[in-house]
Amino acid sequence: MEKQIDSEAPPFGKLIHLIEKLRGEGGCPWDRKQTPQSLAVYLIEEAHELVEAIRSEDAEAVCEELGDVMFLLFFLAAIYKENGEFDVLKAVSKNVVKMRNRHPHVFGNATVDSAEDVSRNWSRIKAAEKPDRGDGSLLDAIPKTLPALMRAYRVSSRAARTGFDWNDLEGVMSQAEEEWRELKAELEKDADGFNRENVALEFGDVLFTLTNVARFAGIHPDTALDASIRKFERRFHRMERHAFKMEQKFEDLEYDDMHELWERAKRVKT
């Protein structure tokens, strides 16, 4: 008999039944052929779309994209259940136990005075949950697939927990200035053409050190860069609209005209 979706089931139950129908006999050929490996790509894409919605501060878009991410998470759990490995209830139960264990100041007798205390406790408890690393590294748990800027932040934060860090913001700022000087020197080495590989390495050092400047300043570099990109986009769109009103294509304007439009766009405070 064809499996029907129970309209009276709780929301998560409906989602589970929906996925079972899609994966079952007579279901969707595309859904039936998916594997954890193939869904991982879609999960990354949907996660980025959710982040985009969050940053746009559009609650309706967040609601929709959050639902898409949940669908893929339940879909993944359904495949592992089919393979006899675990189901979504086990995944949730394990997470509840882990989160309770990592919040002893809420569910136990530990005391904390700040968010920094919570972060230190979290790292200590997380390390105790894992077996001895042997010849492994503290950095091994950081996903290699993270975007480079986010990975730089995570790597530097993890290393700093060992005490391997600058003493203060002034120290890391001095390092950033030194890295900038080294980049400039590399670019100026050869008037007939610089070594691109060396320049790339020095440029990377600048970015990595600036990531640490952000960490010391208490901001996330990815969030800060995204805000700057969005600000540039808003201003560029204003420039294009002004050019359109002048019945011209923006790319056909002279540089001085472009610069004038840029200055006008910058005066708008939103």
Residue 134 maps to a domain: no
Between CA 173 and CA 211 the distance in angstroms is: 11
> Cβ(14)–Cβ(6) under 8 Å?
yes
Domain that holds residue 239: 224-267
Same domain, 22 and 85: yes
Same domain, 153 and 88: no
Among 219, 234, 257, which residue terminates a domain?
Answer: 219
- Whether the predicted pLDDT of 245 surpasses 80: yes
Residue 126, pLDDT score: 82
Model confidence pLDDT, tens digit, residues 169-185: 999 999 999 999 999 99
Instruction: Work out the percent of the chain whose per-residue pLDDT is above 70.
Output: 93
Half-sphere exposure of 258 (CA within 13 A, CB side): 9
User: How does DSSP classify residue 163?
Assistant: T
Phi, psi of 168 (to 5 degrees): -160, 180
Residue 205 maps to a domain: yes
Same domain, 247 and 215: no
From residue 160, how far is each of 8, 133, 154 by CA, in Å?
51, 18, 10
Residue 164, pLDDT score: 94
Residue 51 maps to a domain: yes
Among 202, 219, 236, which residue terminates a domain?
Answer: 219
Instruction: Assign 126 to helix, strand or coil.
Output: helix
- Whether the predicted pLDDT of 9 surpasses 60: no
Among 44, 76, 100, which residue terminates a domain?
Answer: 100
Rounded to the nearest 5 percent, the helix, strand and coil shares of the chain are 70, 0, 30
The total domain count for the chain is 3
Same domain, 52 and 21: yes
Task: Output the CA angle 185-190-192, nearest 5 degrees.
Answer: 145
On the 0-12 / 13-18 / 19+ scale of CB atoms within 10 A, 16 is buried
For residue 149, the one-letter residue type is L
Residue 56 maps to a domain: yes
Model confidence pLDDT, tens digit, residues 35-50: 999 999 899 999 999 9
Q: Which residue has the higher pLDDT, 171 or 120?
A: 171
The enclosing domain of 19 has a CATH number of 1.10.287.1080
End-to-end Cα, the chain, rounded Å = 59
Model confidence pLDDT, tens digit, residues 189-227: 866 677 889 999 999 999 999 999 999 999 999 999 999
> Cβ(69)–Cβ(52) under 8 Å?
no
Between CA 93 and CA 112 the distance in angstroms is: 26
Between CA 69 and CA 62 the distance in angstroms is: 10
Residue 230 maps to a domain: yes
Residue 110 maps to a domain: no
Same domain, 215 and 229: no
Same domain, 15 and 82: yes
Model confidence pLDDT, tens digit, residues 87-110: 999 999 999 999 999 999 999 999
Same domain, 95 and 168: no
Residue 125 maps to a domain: no
Residue 133 maps to a domain: no
